[in-house]
Amino acid sequence: MTDAPKRTPLYDLHVELGGKMVDFAGWEMPVQYPMGIMGEHKQCREKAGLFDVSHMGQVILKGADIATQLEKIAPSAFTTLKEGKARYTFFTNEQGGIMDDLIVSNAGDHFFVVVNASMRHQDIPHMAQHLDGIEVTEIFDRALVAVQGPAAENVVGGLCPAAREMKFMETIVADIMGVECRLSRLGYTGEDGYEISIPEDKAIEITRAFLAHEDCEPAGLGARDSLRLEAGLCLYGNDIDTDTTPVEASLTWAMQKRRREEGGFPGAARIQKQLTEGAARKLVGIKPTGRAPARQGVEVQSTEGETIGSITSGGFGPTVGGPVAMGYVSASHARPGETVNLIIRGKSQPAEVVALPFVTQNYKR
């Protein structure tokens, strides 16, 4: 039996705006609008794009010592996460693999967590099981809207002056059009911007108000994917999964020094060993020299013809103006500047290992 795809509180608005709806992780979501993926991508890099990310799981954690409890299942530091600050992190398994990546915010009397749409059914029981004495509540009555791009501050700040004062990775509760919303200055496009949690009954009204700004246009999943790829941001299920560790995925920046040294999270033994000795493979940026995009699953070979890895995400980067990809390669070939070959439809195509991201990140630090 298959469940009918779920709809977010913004569904009717997507249809009205001409969104092309597709099934994504069990949700009926807009993949693009009439402007097209390329236009939406550029809009987000140059002005502001608005994404519905309500399919992601919003979770409230309540109880004593939430930070300490979270450190049992995720390798980031939470006891030093100040009130009003958010942090990118991931759950690890006993083998050091990544179970999901997520954003954790210290909201003062509770913690606010956003997990991937496709993983919410795993993450919520996982937290409920491992966070002793913590009440784990998924909230279903709020939309989540991301406004991303250099004009995001003006778009959001026009309706919520407090937004202008926020720095990257800060979170506040503020009034927007008489409605209490949670704003976090973050997102997953490489641009400055906000994710805004809005009560579902006001979601369309507030989203319309953002879109009324001349610099803000709706953007779909297609642009979201090309934007995050150019920004070198991992997509769970593609670039990271239970077979990849944070060291392999170059995500050790999300593991603060104390946690790296002390361990005390699932898979710490393996992760710490890789931190000391290096991992055998590494996630890198790969730029095809020609025009052919390298999609997920494309084999990466050394110039000697030896298989050294595979592409995990790839496509066309509208800002770069050519194909861009990410993938795992043997540590021996992971240095930027290394020439490799991609086997695209049986033909060997030259490519170069490059440093990520492909575009400069534009956060308001």
Partner 1 sequence: MTTYYSEEHEWVSVEGDVVTLGITQHAADQLGEIVFCEQKDVGDAFGKGDEIGVIESVKAASEIYAPLDGEVIAVNETLADTPGALNDSPEGDAWIYKIKLAEAAQLEDLMDLNGYKTLIG
What is the binding site for partner 1 (CB under 8 A)?
Answer: 31-32, 36-38, 41, 222, 225-226, 291-293, 295, 315-316, 318, 323, 345
Task: Sort strands 347-354 and 281-288 into parallel, antiparallel or unpaired.
Answer: antiparallel
Task: Give the nearer residue to partner 1 in terms of CB position, either 321 or 337.
Answer: 321
The nearest distance, CB 295 to partner 1, in angstroms, is: 7
d(CA 151, CA 191): 10
Task: Give the nearer residue to partner 1 in terms of CB position, either 25 or 124.
Answer: 25
The nearest distance, CB 36 to partner 1, in angstroms, is: 6
Task: Give the nearer residue to partner 1 in terms of CB position, either 82 or 291.
Answer: 291
The nearest distance, CB 318 to partner 1, in angstroms, is: 7
Task: Give the nearer residue to partner 1 in terms of CB position, either 89 or 349.
Answer: 349
Let me know: does 22 contact 66? Beta carbons within 8 Å: no
Task: Give the nearer residue to partner 1 in terms of CB position, either 37 or 163.
Answer: 37
The nearest distance, CB 178 to partner 1, in angstroms, is: 39
The nearest distance, CB 298 to partner 1, in angstroms, is: 11
Long-range pairs for 98-104: beta carbons < 8 A, 24 or more residues apart: 98/236, 98/240, 98/241, 98/242, 98/244, 98/245, 98/246, 98/249, 98/251, 99/123, 99/126, 99/242, 100/236, 101/234, 101/236, 101/240, 101/251, 102/74, 103/184, 103/186, 104/70, 104/74, 104/76, 104/78
The nearest distance, CB 315 to partner 1, in angstroms, is: 7
Among 273, 260, 279, smallest CA distance to 334 is for 279
CB atoms within 10 A of CB 158: 16
d(CA 258, CA 253): 12
The nearest distance, CB 174 to partner 1, in angstroms, is: 35
Task: Sort strands 171-176 and 216-218 into parallel, antiparallel or unpaired.
Answer: unpaired
Tell me which residue has tokens 């779909």. 220
Task: Give the nearer residue to partner 1 in terms of CB position, either 37 or 127.
Answer: 37
Task: Give the nearer residue to partner 1 in terms of CB position, either 257 or 345.
Answer: 345
